[in-house]
Amino acid sequence: MDKSKRPVVIAGNWKMNKTPSEAKALIEELKPLVAGKTGCETVICVPYVDIAVAVEATKGTNIKVGAENVHFAESGAYTGEISAKMLTECGVEYVIIGHSERRQYFGETDTTVNQRVKAALMAGLKVILCIGEVKEQRLSGITDEVVSMQTKLDLEGIDAEQMKNVIIAYEPVWAIGTGLTATPEQADETCGVIRRTLSAMYGEALAQATVIQYGGSMNAGNAAELLAKLNVDGGLIGGASLKAHDFSVIVDAAQ
């Protein structure tokens, strides 16, 4: 399949930013800037407390709402956690799972990431699964092995039908929030490694149909070059998604 047949998905990851009133203001600013830009799917992944405001403010627009994490259990004694069913009932369509900040600060492992992916898909959410190497792994020349292993472990037990609702975000950890960006060639090459891993797991047709985003200091200035690469089908954007203009320039670049 050629790249142009795959959807392009531009997703913002707001992280722990924006109160509900600030969220509403940002969305109102963003709406006219991305209106009618149907050449990509535009998603904003917001803190739990902003979900209600975001769902309401994006009604009737081309902006979809996502969450930044989800728990793997359906319900129970998990104080402070949020289930997949809670998210879908609130109107959430997407969820980020396995972000490197969750892995680094909150003890997420490939096992718990895999459990969360399963729970999210079961509930009908679309998953943005984050994988990527840390700096030492890139410097040691083991990036390909690391992303391939994460892909296999995080998708263990997920079948081809479920994969229709999985997007993979390749996010080199050394590039997240650091201002360091993978070169377009590095991004393309490692997204290609992930695609080859998917091909070995599910066959070439599914690998060619899967959306693989790049994330890591993507911004208004570098998005076009990154998105032009054969294996890069969109972006997961942190810092630049908090500025309506910058995020909309990235959406424009994806058209």
Kindly indicate which of the ranges 22-30, 139-147, 169-177, 199-207 contains the residues binding ligand PEP, using the contact rule CB under 6 A.
169-177
Whether 99 is a known active-site residue: answer yes
Q: Reduce the DSSP state of residue 126 to 3 states and report it.
A: strand
Q: CA 94 to CA 91: how far, in whole Å? A: 10
- The number of helices, as runs of H, and strands, as runs of E, in the chain is 12, 8
Q: How far is CA 11 from the centre of its chain?
A: 6
Whether 71 is a known active-site residue: answer no
8-state DSSP, 49: G
| Contact call for residue 213 and ligand PEP (CB under 6 A) | no
Q: How many residues of this chain bind ligand PEP (CB under 6 A)? A: 14
**Least CB distance to ligand PEP at residue 173 (A):** 10
Q: Which residues, in sequence order, are CB contacts of 28 under 8 Å at separation 6+? A: 57
| Contact call for residue 249 and ligand PEP (CB under 6 A) | no
Q: Which residue is nearest to ligand PEP (CB)?
A: 238
| Contact call for residue 69 and ligand PEP (CB under 6 A) | no
Among 114, 150, 217, 248, which residue interacts with ligand PEP (rule: CB under 6 A)?
217
Q: Reduce the DSSP state of residue 254 to 3 states and report it.
A: coil
Is 64 exposed, middle or buried, given 0-12, 13-18 or 19+ CB atoms closer than 10 A?
buried
The phi, psi pair for 63, rounded to 5°, reads: -100, 125
Of 234, 130, 231, 251, nearest to 187 by C-alpha is 231
**Least CB distance to ligand PEP at residue 181 (A):** 8
Among 34, 168, 176, 187, which residue interacts with ligand PEP (rule: CB under 6 A)?
176
| Contact call for residue 218 and ligand PEP (CB under 6 A) | yes
Segment 12 to 41, residues that bind ligand PEP, using CB under 6 A: 13, 15
Q: CA 102 to CA 13: how far, in whole Å? A: 13
**Least CB distance to ligand PEP at residue 142 (A):** 21
**Least CB distance to ligand PEP at residue 175 (A):** 6
Residue with tokens 């149909």: 209
Kindly indicate which of the ranges 29-37, 116-124, 201-209, 210-218 contains the residues binding ligand PEP, using the contact rule CB under 6 A.
210-218
Among 7, 32, 124, 177, which residue interacts with ligand PEP (rule: CB under 6 A)?
177
Residues with active-site annotation: 99, 171
Residues of this chain that bind ligand PEP (CB under 6 A): 13, 15, 171, 176-177, 215-218, 236-240
